[in-house]
Amino acid sequence: MSNVLPPPPGDLSYSALSPLISKVLYSKENIASRVSELGRQITADYAGVGRDLVVFGILKGVLPFQADLTRAIDLPLQTDVMTISGYRPENGQAPERRPPGVVRITKDLDIPVSGRHVLIVEDMVDTGLTLNFIARMIRQRQPASLAIATLFNREANRLALNLPIRYSGFDAPDDFLVGYGLDYRELFRNLPYVGILKKEIYSL
Residues carrying an active site annotation: 126
Which range, of 20-28, 58-66, 89-97, 171-179, touches ligand PRP by CB under 6 A?
Answer: 58-66
Residue 91: CB minimum distance to ligand PRP, A: 12
Greatest extent of the chain over all pairs of C-alpha atoms, in Å: 54
* Interface pick for ligand PRP out of 24, 41, 183, 190 (rule CB under 6 A): 183
- Give yes or no for residue 60 binding ligand PRP (CB under 6 A): yes
The residue number whose beta carbon is nearest to ligand PRP equals 61
Structure letter (DSSP) for residue 175: S
Coil, strand or helix: which one is 86? Answer: coil
Distance of closest approach, residue 44 Cβ to ligand PRP, in angstroms: 26
On whether the CB atoms of residues 56 and 79 are closer than 8 A, the answer is yes
- The footprint of ligand PRP on residues 80-109 (CB under 6 A) is 86, 88
At residue 82, what is the residue type? Answer: M
Please list every residue from 115 through 174 that binds ligand PRP, using CB under 6 A.
Answer: 122-130
Q: DSSP 3-state helix, strand, coil percentages of the chain (rounded to 5)?
A: 25, 30, 45
How far is 6 from 88, CA to CA, in rounded Å?
A: 27
Compare residues 91 and 203 and give the one whose CB is closer to ligand PRP: 91
CB 73 within 8 A of CB 43: yes
Interacting residue ranges for ligand PRP, rule: CB under 6 A:
58-61, 86, 88, 122-130, 183
